[in-house]
Structure 1
Amino acid sequence: MKRRDFLTTGAVGGAATALASPAIAQSNPVLQWRLQSSYPKSLDTIYGAAEVFAKAVLEASDGNFQIQVFAAGEIVPPLAIVEGVQSGTVEMGQTGSYFYIGLDPAFAFGTSLPFGPNTRFQQAWFNEAGGNDLFNEFLAGYNIHHLPLGGTGAQMGGWFRKEINTLADLKGLKMRIGGLSGMILQRLGLVPSQIAAGDVYPSLERGTIDAAEFVGPYDDEKLGLSKIAPYYYYPGFWEGAATLSLFIGLEKWNELPERYRSILTMAAGYAGALQLAKYDAQNAEALRRLVAGGAQLRVFPGDVLQASYDAANAFYAETSAKSASFKTLYDHQMKFRDDTLPWLQISEYAYDTLLLQASQGAK
């Protein structure tokens, strides 16, 4: 059965179908929406997910719900999606919610927290543990409705012009880094900067920044960051999971027929699953190409990781004391993370460790 057939089939038998037809017709208005991404078309993983989403909506609505996708900056600035959606300039936008922590630090929960859940458990938090409902309660104050749009998986720690050998090497280092991570690492002497994807390479080239994190090998290769900053660090502890967000004007969302809301939700899940699959399939090959081209893999020193963990926990405690919305989301997500980590340890982690050890021993 085709996806659109499944969505439009509401009754069995000729009489029931005839009775249902007027209601079905009313639930299929012709709509034309605009969706702007924060990302350029060259990033076929992230921007491409928005196009997959729009196509799925079109097909499932029998061509009645049309969403035109625009790349970063084509209508509003790439990091102004919230403002664009709030003003009605665009009906919806694809972005990283943590770009908007200047409005409220709780925006970070739509993307990731340093030392937060991994990708699987973040998706479980959103979709099964009530995380997305809780996040939408917060976003209602900004006249926005949120749908998760897949994720990147665990990210890399970024590209550095010089090696990081000790914690002291972070002092004064200017780095492009998103979300709460910059605010946390600022406590360790790092100078953070939030820069849109298309501006990362020029900023590194001009020396405006000394280092930059973006996503992982496949996207980073497209941005050409290894040509300027050869040291490629991991793990990206600030984004053990990074979810992309669809922001929809709350009034526009509420005006939609229930069927269209269901279509948008299912299309976001479908596009997001393909996005993550593409990252998993492409990152390994891209990493091999980067290393062959001169990129030098490095693990963050232990003192950097421990100091970052301590700084993150101190930041969360202080922010929770100041912001009720942050505390509500933080307490909910961290309880879920801590409750699920034991299962991860005896399932995915144990299996992955076994597989790595066995395969390496066989060589």
Structure 2
Amino acid sequence: MRLKSFHAKTMSEAMKLVRQTLGDDAIIVATREEEGGGVRVTAAVEEDDHATAQARLQAARPVEPEIDVGEAVAEALHRHGVPASLAEVLVDAAAGLDTEDPTLALGAALDSVFTFNPLPDARGGGGKTLVLVGPPGGGKTLTVAKLAARAVLKNRTVGVITTDTVRAGGVDQLAAFMRILKVKLISVDDPDALHGAIAVNQGCDLVLVDTAGRNPFDESEMDDLRAMLAAAESEPIMVLPAGLDALEAADTGQAFKALGARRMLLTRLDMARRFGSMLVTAQRTRLSFCDGSVSARVAEGLTPLNPVALARLMMPGQEKTAPARAVRPSGPKAKTMSSPSSRTLP
């Protein structure tokens, strides 16, 4: 027999405590009113009955499965085809963090290895020109339309220029988008014309230049693009589709980095299921992640990338429902980790 006393403000509250602790088999031995207010109930239960009651209570409570953060991150990296050498670095970084959220752990690990530099928000004052470059079929034209739509929706003035005058339908496709946005499109064929078109749009908050897709391994095509970039005197943004072979993507990134690219914009994130090529490219080229396209629709699907946003794309549905604790290094593998915004470039 096991006896236990319970104190509560009312008899009903005391009886509730008895049932919660000893179960429905408990026997009320005594009750009395306390001098300071409230009631005290003494209940008894056989030891075997108590053990059974406790077992029932434990079974009724939902048990959250324990998550091995390092194992979850390793599994995600393997699923995305990340090479073992890079995966080991990221897993070590994630395993040394004080968090039970695999997504936050992967985000902090990505932040420790890569840089994130989203494209600027077009603001008044003019003078910001972005030239989109990349291999054929990478999604540059659609990305220009998305960037223009984003600027228009924020009431920014935007100028759009295309040098893609050879590809069948290239100009027509972009022109159709610009008519909807009520943005004037200028088509140019050579570096001098490009320089003049940018000068014409110098009063706009943002100027976007869509270039023809170039074979990164064809020297003559890259020389033509180099001449266009010299005339533009602006930062080239490499547009890279997700889902490529990792080594091919890295070689492509190296070729466009040689032309001055510092950031890469990722497309087809909604269609690819393995993002290992993006991580390999960023690691080998030291290009920064900027924005990503997650939809084929012009009015949506282009989002600034940061470590946690990229981790969520790689581990959908992995966030814990409880409020996430601060991510802090711990354990023998602890390393100094920066916050998701601390490694962004100026």
| Smaller-chain TM-score bracket | under 0.3
Q: TM-score, normalised by structure 2?
A: 0.24
Instruction: Flag the structure with larger Rg.
Output: 2
Normalising by structure 1, we get a TM-score of 0.23
More helix by share: 1
